[in-house]
């Protein structure tokens, strides 16, 4: 009989978010009267705003006409690639450096193919689980040791180091997943820190995979929204991004990845050419309808709507942050990010998760699900209807004493 893929055998059962959903279902079955509110998974809840929605619906209608119909558009609409470069990168990238995808998570998965099983992997700890789980699936990391996967360099990002890793621990010739604004901590790396990161990556021959999925939540004008605001990043970084969180496209599915032509392997070969080869082979391109929606999101009115949507969720984040702080619980994030990262010293994250679910009927995300340094933390997501957020904030008062 066929043998199980040993990389899959290495991975722990249950991706974090389905595991949370399972525990929520179990709680609901045992407490049918409970009105559970989710501040768990970062899933958008608000309707797509009218101008962007019109882009989607008109796009769908075009597909029903002879003149408007389009089939495969493998590498994405040229106009969309140009507009992404103009709106987010001051036109710094040529269209063939902008790859349209069906979302950041999917591209993070495919990016693992680019570097393969033999490449060392480093992550911020805590981090978005896809970086680690994807590395295990491709064979770049091995079995679970009890606190982490063998072969992954976990670089702690904690209150003690202001949520920025000690770069002297960054392995050479590795890929380093770096997320800012960070999921889960909500911390945003400043310009000095990102400059240090680029310097360290270049010295060590490391490629930064910069996840900027929450960049549109940055409100502090001094904070960078892209690694490519830093000089030298074109030679050492790839950036993944998405319309999910700024435009409410979590269910529509559209993102992009920037692979600069200056990025080269040790042998001088082009990473951009390999990425084009991989995408052309295993990806047939993103939905045309989603791309028409994204084009609408990137004209003046669409950009305004994205800001409005992010402002709405940031308003909710502020309420959660204030509610958590009013209980005397230390937390970060929620100001330039939709996530609030709260500390429960000496406690197990899953135990705190269970207590909040039990006492408040509020679902959260246990910090330990994001890596060893997430132990004793809870992540609150600000994605929710405002009335639910307000109700959840009132119920959190039950955690007092």
Binding mask 280-319 for ligand MLT (x = CB under 6 A): ----------------------------------------
CB of 172 to ligand MLT, least distance (A): 29
CA distance 360 to 341: 18
**Residue labelled with tokens 């992550």:** 123
Least distance to ligand MLT from the beta carbon of 269, Å?
Answer: 31
Distance CA 87, CA 66 (A): 31
Report the run of H or E that residue 138 belongs to, with start and end.
helix 129-138
Would strands 362-363 and 37-38 be described as parallel, antiparallel, or unpaired?
Answer: parallel
Q: Are 223 and 51 in contact (CB under 8 A)?
A: no
Q: Is 266 helix (H, G, I), strand (E, B) or coil?
A: coil
Please identify, using beta-carbon distances, which residue of 98 and 363 lies nearer to ligand MLT. Answer: 363
* Nearest distance in Å: CB 191, ligand MLT: 25
Burial 120-129 (b: 16+ CB within 10 A, else e): bbbbbbbbbb
Q: How far is the CB of 357 from ligand MLT (least distance, A)?
A: 16
Q: Does 17 bind ligand MLT (CB under 6 A)?
A: yes
Site for ligand MLT in 354-393 (CB under 6 A): 381
Give the helix/strand (H/E) hosting 263.
none
**What sign has the CA pseudo-torsion 61, 62, 67, 72?**
negative
CA distance 259 to 270: 10
Counted residue by residue, the chain has a size of 401
**At its nearest, how many Å lie between ligand MLT and the CB of residue 264?**
30
Site for ligand MLT contains 15 (CB under 6 A): no
User: Closest distance between ligand MLT and the C-beta of residue 153, in Å?
Assistant: 21
Give me the 207-246 binding string for ligand MLT, x by CB under 6 A, dash otherwise. -------------------------------------x--
Give the DSSP H/E element, type plus range, for residue 309.
helix 300-326
**Options 135, 183, 364, 375; binder of ligand MLT; rule CB under 6 A:** 183
* 112-151 footprint of ligand MLT as x/- string (CB under 6 A): ----------------x-----------------------
The count of chain residues that interact with ligand MLT, using the rule CB under 6 A, is: 8
Instruction: Answer for the pair 259, 273: CB distance below 8 angstroms, yes or no.
Output: no
Least separation in angstroms between residue 179's CB and ligand MLT is 10
The reply on whether position 350 binds ligand MLT by CB under 6 A is no
- Rounded to whole angstroms, the maximal C-alpha distance in the chain is 67
Nearer to ligand MLT, 185 or 376 (CB): 185
Q: Cβ-closest residue to ligand MLT?
A: 42
Which residues are registered as beta bridge partners of 339? 381
Do 365 and 41 meet the contact criterion of CB atoms below 8 Å apart?
Answer: yes
Under the binding rule (CB under 6 A), the answer on residue 105 touching ligand MLT is yes
Pick one of 37, 38, 39, 42: the residue that binds ligand MLT (CB under 6 A).
42
Choose between 108 and 393: whose C-beta lies nearer to ligand MLT: 108
DSSP 178: E
Could you tell me if 159 and 367 are in contact, meaning their C-beta atoms sit under 8 angstroms apart? no
- Asked whether the bond before 143 is cis by omega within 30 degrees of 0, the reply is no
Of the pair 128, 154, the CB lying nearest ligand MLT is at 128
The nearer residue to ligand MLT, 93 or 163, going by C-beta atoms, is: 163
Q: How far is the CB of 71 from ligand MLT (least distance, A)?
A: 29
41 contributes a contact to ligand MLT by CB under 6 A: yes
Q: In the bound complex, what is the minimum distance in angstroms from residue 247's beta carbon to ligand MLT?
A: 13
8-state DSSP, 156: E
Question: In the complex, which residues of this chain contact ligand MLT (CB under 6 A)?
Answer: 17, 41-42, 105, 128, 183, 244, 381
């Amino acid at each position: 009989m066929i043998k199980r893929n040993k990389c899959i055998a290495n991975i722990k059962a249950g991706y974090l978010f389905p595991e949370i959903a399972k525990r929520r279902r179990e709680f609901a079955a045992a407490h049918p009267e409970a009105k559970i509110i989710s501040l768990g998974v970062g899933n958008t809840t608000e309707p797509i705003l009218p101008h962007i929605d019109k882009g989607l619906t008109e796009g769908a209608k075009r597909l029903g006409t002879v003149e408007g119909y389009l089939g495969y558009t493998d590498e994405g609409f040229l106009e969309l690639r140009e507009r992404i470069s103009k709106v987010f990168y001051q036109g710094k990238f040529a269209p063939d450096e902008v790859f349209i995808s069906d979302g950041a998570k999917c591209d993070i998965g495919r990016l693992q193919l680019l570097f393969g099983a033999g490449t060392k992997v480093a992550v911020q700890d805590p981090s978005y689980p896809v970086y680690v789980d994807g590395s295990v699936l491709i064979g770049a990391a091995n079995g679970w040791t009890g606190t982490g996967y063998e072969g992954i360099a976990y670089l702690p990002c904690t209150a003690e180091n202001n949520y920025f890793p000690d770069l002297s621990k960054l392995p050479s010739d590795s890929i380093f997943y770096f997320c800012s604004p960070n999921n889960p901590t909500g911390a945003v790396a400043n310009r000095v820190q990102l400059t240090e990161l680029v310097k360290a990556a270049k010295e060590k021959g490391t490629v930064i995979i910069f996840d900027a999925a929450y960049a549109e939540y940055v409100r502090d004008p001094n904070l960078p929204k892209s690694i490519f605001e830093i000089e030298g990043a074109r030679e050492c970084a790839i950036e993944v991004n998405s319309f999910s969180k700024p435009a409410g496209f979590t269910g529509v599915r559209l993102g992009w990845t920037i692979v600069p032509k200056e990025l080269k392997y040790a042998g001088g070969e082009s990473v951009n050419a390999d990425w084009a080869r991989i995408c052309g082979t295993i990806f047939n391109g993103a939905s045309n309808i989603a791309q028409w929606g994204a084009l609408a999101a990137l004209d003046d009115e669409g950009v305004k709507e994205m800001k409005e949507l992010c402002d709405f969720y940031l308003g909710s984040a502020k309420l959660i942050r204030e509610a958590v702080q009013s209980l005397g619980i230390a937390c970060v994030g929620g100001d330039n990010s939709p996530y609030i990262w709260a500390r429960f010293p000496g406690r197990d994250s899953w135990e705190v998760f269970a207590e909040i679910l039990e006492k408040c009927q509020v679902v959260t995300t246990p910090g330990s699900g994001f890596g060893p340094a997430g132990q004793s933390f809870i992540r609150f997501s600000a994605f929710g209807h405002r009335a639910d957020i307000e109700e959840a904030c009132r119920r959190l008062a039950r955690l007092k004493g």
